[in-house]
Structure 1
Amino acid sequence: MSTQPTRESIARLIDHTLLKPEATPEQVAALAAEAGELGTFSICVSPSLLPVSVPAGVKVATVCGFPSGAHKPEVKAAEAARSVRDGADEVDMVIDLAQALTGRFEAVEAEIRAVREACPTDGEHPVLLKVIIESAALTDEQIVGCCEAAERAGADFVKTSTGFHPAGGASVEAVALMRRTVGDRLGVKASGGIRTTEAALAMVEAGASRLGLSGSKAVLDGLGD
C-alpha cells in the first residue's frame, strides 16, 4: 500500500466470511452484526442463507459453484441470478478447474461470461463479480490464463481461492502475479488461509484490493485501535 495501513483501511478491504456448510442463520446474523462493529466491507455467506439483513454500509457477498466449480455454466448462472434476487451485491464464482488445468481458457471465459450475464452491471442494483481460480492448484501460466479469461468475460475481480481446496489458499506470489496480469483494470481478492495480521498486510502489499477472512477480528486487532 502507498500509505500506512490502519485498522479502518484494512477493515474496508475485508469480506467477513462464513462459508462452513453447517453454518446456521443465527451464526450469519451474528456475522453480520460483527461486520458492522468491525467496519468490514461486506459479509460473504452461502447462497442458501440469503436473504440476510446487514448493518448500514455493509455489502452482501455470496458464492456460486462453490466449492468445486464442477458445475455446468447454466447452473452457475441460474444460481447467481437467484442470489441476486435474494439480495446479493457481489457474487464470487468458482471456475471449472479442470478446464484451466487442461488449458481450455475459452471454456473458462465462456462460463464466466454466462455468470456475468446473470449478474447485472447497471440499473438500480449493479452486481460485482469475482472469479475464484484456485491459484494454489495452478501453474503461473494457468493463473495468467484464468485472469485473462476473467477480464475478457467482464469480471470485476479475480480471487485466489475457495479456502476448501487441498492444494491450499492464497500466496503472496500468486497475488502478485494476478495483480501484474490484470493491472489496475480488475480487483484482486486474496482468500484462503489468511489468519494473521502479518499475512493480511503481505497480501495487500502484493496487490490485493480485497481480503476474504473468517477471522477478521483477530487480524484487525493486530493493527491496534
Structure 2
Amino acid sequence: MQKQELAEIIDYTLLKPTTNKEDIKTFCEETIEYGFKTVFVNPYYVPYAYELLSPHGIKVGAPIGFSLGGATTKTKVAETKEAINNGAEEIDMLINLGALKSQEYDVVKHDISEVVKVSEGLTTKVIIENGLLSHDEKITAAKLIVEAGADFVKTATGFNGGGATVEDVKLLRSVVGEDFGVKAAGGVRTYEDALAIIEAGADRIGASGAIAIVTGGKSNAAY
C-alpha cells in the first residue's frame, strides 16, 4: 500500500489532556498537509477543529466516554449529541468495561446501542481496550458490538495499557466477519507496523504518530 493510500485510512488523533488551542491549530494544518481524511480531538475542541477542517472536506471525530468508559449511558448519549451538534461526523465510544467484566452483557449492549441510535447513521466505533481483556472477553465484546449495531470494533485508546496487536486484530476480524469494521489503535507507530496490522485485518488505524507512519519515520507519541 502506498503511503498516500495509507493516509486515507488513518484517523489522525490528538487526545492528550494538556493539548492547547495552538496545538490543535498546528495539528489541523498537518492534517491538511499530509492528506488525512479524519481526525479525532477531545470534545471540547471539536468546534474549533471543525471550523478549520470542514472547508477541506476533512471529518472531525469525537471520543465518547473517554478514556475509561465508566460514564453512564445517559451521559454518553448527551456527550454524543453535543459532539454531533458541534460538527463531529464520527463517534468512537469506549465500552463499559466494568459492566463487561461483571458479565452484565445486556447493559453493555444497551450502552452501545443508545449511542448508535443518537448518532443517526454516522460511523460509530466501539473501543474494547483489548489490553485489559481476556481472550474470551475480547470475543464477547466484539459480538456485543456487532449485535448493538455499531460499525467498528476498535482495539484500544492507547491510554490504559496495551494496544493494537496483529494477534488481536486477527481475532477480532475472525469474530466480526469480513463486512464489519476493525480499527487498530494504540501502538501503531511505523509504516511497517501499519502494513502488518492491515494484513491482519484492520481497515482503519488510529494514531497520534500518523505523520511518522506515512513518512517512514518513527514515533513515540501516545495515541
Normalised by the length of structure 2, the TM-score is 0.92
Q: Secondary structure at the match of 1:50?
A: helix
Question: Does the CA contact (< 8 Å) of 1:103 and 1:142 recur in 2?
Answer: no
Which residue type is aligned with residue 200 of structure 1?
A
Which residue type is aligned with residue 111 of structure 2?
E
Q: Separation in 1 of the partners of 2:24 and 2:177? A: 34
Aligned residue among 182, 190, 200 for 2:184: 190
Q: Separation in 1 of the partners of 2:105 and 2:172? A: 16
Q: Which has the higher helix share?
A: 2
Q: Deviations over 1:123-159 (max 9, x none)?
A: xxxx111000001111121111111111111101110
In structure 2, list runs of 5 or more residues that go unmatched.
218-223
Aligned pair 1:178/2:172, yes or no? yes
Partner of 2:109 in structure 1? Answer: 109
Aligned residue among 34, 37, 40 for 1:41: 37
1:77 deviation in Å?
0.7
1:72-87 counterparts in 2 under 5 A?
72-87=72-87
Which residue type is aligned with residue 99 of structure 1?
A
Q: Secondary structure at the match of 2:68?
A: coil
Q: Secondary structure at the match of 2:56?
A: coil
Aligned Cα root-mean-square deviation (Å): 1.3
Which residue type is aligned with residue 145 of structure 2?
A
Which residue type is aligned with residue 62 of structure 1?
A
Question: Does the CA contact (< 8 Å) of 1:157 and 1:188 recur in 2?
Answer: yes
In structure 1, list runs of 5 or more residues that go unmatched.
122-126
1:125-144 counterparts in 2 under 5 A?
127-144=122-139
Q: Separation in 1 of the partners of 2:32 and 2:178? A: 28
Which residue type is aligned with residue 4 of structure 2?
E
Partner of 1:154 in structure 2? Answer: 149
Q: Separation in 2 of the partners of 1:186 and 1:31? A: 29
Partner of 2:8 in structure 1? Answer: 12
Q: Secondary structure at the match of 1:92?
A: strand
Q: Separation in 2 of the partners of 1:104 and 1:40? A: 38
Q: Separation in 2 of the partners of 1:165 and 1:119? A: 26
Question: Does the CA contact (< 8 Å) of 1:31 and 1:43 recur in 2?
Answer: no
Q: Percent identity?
A: 39
Partner of 1:118 in structure 2? Answer: 118
Q: Separation in 1 of the partners of 2:166 and 2:29? A: 30
1:184 deviation in Å?
2.3
Q: Separation in 1 of the partners of 2:57 and 2:2? A: 19
Aligned residue among 5, 21, 39 for 2:17: 21
Q: Separation in 2 of the partners of 1:163 and 1:174? A: 14
Q: Separation in 2 of the partners of 1:151 and 1:25? A: 36
Aligned pair 1:201/2:195, yes or no? yes
Q: Secondary structure at the match of 1:115?
A: helix
1:57 deviation in Å?
2.9
